[in-house]
Chains A and B, each alone.
Chain A
Amino acid sequence: MSMTFIIDALVTVIGITTPILLAASGELVVEKSGVINLGVEGMMLVGAIAGFAVTFETGNPWLGIVIAMLAGAASSLIFGVLVLSLGANQVATGLALTIFGIGLSSLIGSNYVGIANDPLDSPFPDDLAKDAFWRIIFGHSPFVYMAVLLVLAIGYFLNKTRAGLVLRAVGENDFSAHSIGYPVIAIRYAAIAFGGAASGLAGADFSMVISPLWAEQMTAGRGWIALALVVFAGWRAGRLLAGSYFFGVLMALELYAKASGFAIFPSQFWAAMPYLIAVIVLAIISSRDGKGGKAPACLGKPFIPNG
């Protein structure tokens, strides 16, 4: 294997890992607050079409990124109102958000099918970004750097800051947190909106970098992988980072198997592999109860004060 091949492969892995890392980081914060939002896939699609459409209409990709995050957050607030203010079931509402995201993005996207944008390039100068070796560090889209910074910041926030401690307290024991005066519902709203923005950003990565061409349901189930990743990581930021790249390698195998006509297994086998592995990994992690990291105690339970 030549050096070029190895660098190419690493750049590919880093690129396709980024959206699931972004989405999973956001979902980690949501779940730490005691809420499970299964709408990741839908919010990613809303972010994907928002980022794509705004970039196409204005020619300004950075504006596209901002609007994608806002759109993701806005759609997550539909979920927030239903589960936090109206006490609706989180599983069903999250699923509704995914169906909503698929429908809304297809509706808006029907004007953009077949249109391509220029992919968003590395923010670094070409001397570094296109260098045969240094591109492994400097040759990525801005999303890659944002994702790594985001997960590190979240790790710091959750474990080292007072606000992070409060967020975790809300997720571990909402009634206690409420009784000592923390605004449980407001904190959860904030976490949900943050998760929505991260998913929106993840979607924009798909439509602006990975395949800068609008296609219906272009996120192809990656939002669900992101949800599995949070469990896989045992609700810890460090393991989330490592786990994402593990899945990135699995997803890269599919691309390489297709490109090389690698014939031992059909390409569909490689495409199914991240999902199969996710199921197997979920079983392994869940059976090692405690050692694998525990879910926040209030995850998925509605909180109705004086209820």
Chain B
Amino acid sequence: MRLRLEKRLEPSRRMLVLTPVLSVVAIMLLGIVIFDGLGYDGQQAVWELFFTPVLDAYKWRDVATKAAPLIIIALGLSLGNQAKIWNIGAEGQYIVGAIAAAGVAYSTQSLSGFWIIPLMVLAGMAAGAAYAAVPAVLRTRYGVSEVLSSLMLVYVSLQLLSYMVTGPWKDPDGHNFPQTASLTDAQLLPHDIWDSGIPPGLLVALLAAAIFYVIVSRTVFGFSIRAIGEAPHAARYGGFSSDGIVWATLMISGGMAGLAGVFELMQLGRLNLGYPSGYGFTAIIVSLLGRSHPIGVFIAGIVLAITYVGGQVAQTVVHVPNATAGLFQALLLFAILASDLLVRYRIRFSIKADPLTERGGA
């Protein structure tokens, strides 16, 4: 018997949907083995990591809170993914978005009015987009890979954050902690929407997913992104500007990351050194696990949020180290990348000599 790969004429739609699910299941099984190998109770650890946050209603809010920024950032990234433009510096755009919103908050401390929150949102989105414009300029004018330039800027944004919270915007009443003053009531959204337990960020994520669904599937812009990604030369003959797509995808993903930054700032109530959470990096996993499709991204965002919350549960119950969730997120990404093979190829088991028995082997 032998294994044979056969290229599919078209990517399998069934596999496109099925492989992310298979990846999650595979990682759960692998997790049992890994935890057992490390000397923990593998089955219980995986249970706490993946199922407790789903089954325990008290954890739902945590999951929703963590899912919101992941989904918002990943929706933006999913456009670039389809055009094969890699903004891997979303973490930086997320941080400058929060810094800009905190700047608005800093200068409106003694004011009130309905306009403050919209202004914070606008400032955050504009800052995120502007920060993503740097790799866009560098790529379209100088041919610099957006992968490296966007990533370098993450480290710059971390230093900017550190400077702002230890320097000019440091809370004078903060007992010398490196943090800004708390947001005022006029700068905060209600914790729940209509007392439903749904954080405002998740509602924004849901709306954004709907808007992206329309953009991707119903507009010429959405079509041109896919065209550039799949057949750049043909797309250029078709009159689509590849520079234009670089600009659009980077600015949109930067703006979305900035937006997520604003909501996370409102969620935490102030900016401090602990603000950078790696959501900008995890969102890359979310967008790939969700197959860059708005509905898929929404579900994937919740799955990854579950691993964050479950990681904390597993830490307290099974005493696995805090870093476990990160490791599982990486393994999940490996699995999803490996399973791409099933989308593009068909695997056939066959006994070479006799084509008639080919189906029997499978």
How many angstroms between the C-alpha atoms of A91 and B158 in the bound complex?
Answer: 23
B7 to chain A, nearest CB (A): 7
Asked if B155 is at the interface (CB within 8 A of a chain A CB), the reply is yes
Which residue in B38, B162, B331 is a CB contact (below 8 Å) of A268?
Answer: B162
From A95, A110, A271, A289, contact of B159 by CB (8 A) = A271
Contact (Cβ within 8 A) A82 B337:
yes
In the complex, chain B residues 132-149 whose Cβ is within 8 Å of any chain A Cβ? 134, 138, 141-145, 147-149
Assess the A82–B334 pair: CB atoms within 8 A.
Answer: yes
B233, chain A: closest CB distance, angstroms: 15
Question: Does A89 lie at the interface of the complex (its beta carbon under 8 Å from any beta carbon of B)?
Answer: yes
Count of A-B contacts judged by CB separation below 8 Å = 140
With A107-B324, A107-B327, A110-B323 as contacts: A88 and B163 at CB distance below 8 Å: no
Asked if A269 and B327 sit within 8 Å, CB to CB, the answer is no
- B337, A99: Cβ atoms under 8 Å? no
Nearest B residue to A254, CB-CB: B159
Q: Which residues of A28-55 have CB atoms within 8 Å of chain B's CB atoms? A: 38
Task: Count residues of chain A with CB under 8 A from any CB of chain B.
Answer: 44
Q: Is B160 in the interface zone, CB < 8 Å from A?
A: yes
Residue from A87, A227, A231, A272 in contact with B155 in the complex, judged by beta carbons closer than 8 Å: A272
Q: Given that A99-B330, A279-B138 are known contacts, is A228 also in contact with B323, CB under 8 Å in the complex?
A: no
A286 with B144: CB separation less than 8 A: yes
Tell me the nearest residue of chain B to A228, going by C-beta.
B148
Closest beta carbon of chain A to B42's beta carbon, Å: 14
CA distance A30 to B88 in the complex (A): 21
Question: Residue on A with the closest CB to B141?
Answer: A287
Closest to A304 in B: B7
Contact residue among A78, A99, A271, A275 (Cβ-Cβ distance under 8 Å from B285): A99
Residues on A with C-beta less than 8 A from B7 are 307
A275's partner among B153, B281, B327, B341 (CB-CB below 8 A) is B153
Judged by a CB distance under 8 angstroms, whether B348 is at the interface is: no
Please report the C-alpha to C-alpha distance between residue A102 and residue B281 in the assembled complex, in whole angstroms: 12
A23 on interface, CB distance cutoff 8 Å: no
Q: Which of A82, A106, A231 contacts B323 (CB 8 A)?
A: A106
For chain B, the bracket of interface size reads 35 or more
**Partner of B329 from A103, A110, A271, A286 at Cβ < 8 Å:** A103
A307 to B344, CA, bound (A): 11
Contact with A along B175-207 (1 / 0, CB 8 A): 000000000000000000000000000000000
Query: Is A120 engaged at the interface, CB distance under 8 Å to the other chain?
Result: no
B142 CB contact (under 8 Å) in A89, A95, A276, A283: A283
Instruction: Produce 1/0 per residue, B301-336, CB < 8 A to A.
Output: 000000000000000000001111111111101100
Complex: chain A residue closest to B323, CB-CB: A106
Query: Could you tell me which residues of chain B, from 18 to 38, have a CB within 8 Å of some CB in chain A?
Result: 38
A275-B155 contact in complex given A38-B147, A106-B323, A231-B148, C-beta closer than 8 Å = yes
User: A78 to chain B: closest CB distance in Å?
Assistant: 7
Q: With the chains together, A307 CA to B7 CA distance in Å?
A: 7
A104→B327 contact, CB < 8 A: yes
* Shortest CB distance A166–B (Å): 26
Kindly list chain A residues whose C-beta atoms are within 8 Å of the C-beta of B288.
92
Contact of A266 with B by CB under 8 A: yes
User: Counting CB contacts under 8 A, is B151 at the interface?
Assistant: yes
Interface hits, A156-174 → B, CB 8 Å? none
A225 (CB) vs chain B CBs: closest residue: B152
Tell me which of A95, A104, A266 contacts B284 (CB under 8 A): A95
Q: Are B147 and A106 in contact (CB under 8 A)?
A: no
- Minimum CB–CB distance for B202 against chain A, Å: 24
What's the minimum C-beta distance from B360 to chain A, rounded to whole angstroms? Answer: 26
Residues of chain B within 8 A (CB-CB) of A269 are 159, 163
A224 CB–B CB distance under 8 Å: yes
With beta carbons under 8 angstroms apart, the residue of A93, A228, A276 that contacts B337 is A93
B-chain residues with CB within 8 Å of residue A221 when the two chains form the complex:
154-155
Inter-chain CA distance A199–B149, complex, in Å, is 21
- Residue B338 at the A interface, CB < 8 A? yes
Contacts of B149 in A (CB 8 A): 279, 282-283
Task: Tell me the nearest residue of chain B to A278, going by C-beta.
Answer: B152
Report yes or no: B152 in contact with A224, Cβ–Cβ below 8 A.
yes
> Smallest distance from the beta carbon of A174 to chain B beta carbons, Å?
18
A86 part of interface (Cβ distance < 8 Å): yes
CB distance from A280 to the nearest CB of B (A): 9
Digitize A230-267: 1 where CB-to-B-CB distance is under 8 Å, 0 elsewhere: 01000000000000000000000000000000000010
Judge whether A96 and B155 touch: CB under 8 Å.
Answer: no
Report the minimal beta-carbon distance from B29 to chain A, rounded to whole angstroms: 18
**Which residue from B143, B155, B329, B338 sits with its C-beta under 8 Å from A82?**
B338
Closest to A110 in B: B321
Question: A268–B281 contact, CB under 8 A?
Answer: no
Whether B321 lies near A99 (C-beta < 8 A) is: no
B81-123 contact mask (Cβ, 8 Å, vs A): 1 or 0: 0000010100000000000000000000000000000000000
In chain A, positions 287-307 with a C-beta closer than 8 Å to chain B are 287, 289, 307
Q: Is B214 an interface residue (CB 8 A)?
A: no
**Cβ-closest 6 pairs across A and B:** A106-B323, A103-B327, A100-B330, A103-B326, A110-B321, A272-B159
Provide 20 A-B residue pairs closer than 8 Å at the C-beta atoms, listed in order of the A residue: A38-B88, A82-B338, A87-B341, A87-B344, A88-B337, A92-B284, A93-B337, A96-B330, A102-B326, A103-B324, A104-B330, A106-B326, A107-B323, A221-B154, A224-B148, A269-B163, A271-B162, A279-B134, A279-B152, A286-B143
Q: Assuming A86-B341, A100-B330, what are 19 further A-B pairs, CB within 8 angstroms? A: A38-B147, A78-B334, A82-B337, A89-B340, A93-B334, A96-B337, A99-B330, A99-B333, A103-B323, A103-B328, A103-B329, A107-B327, A216-B323, A231-B145, A266-B163, A268-B159, A282-B148, A287-B142, A289-B143
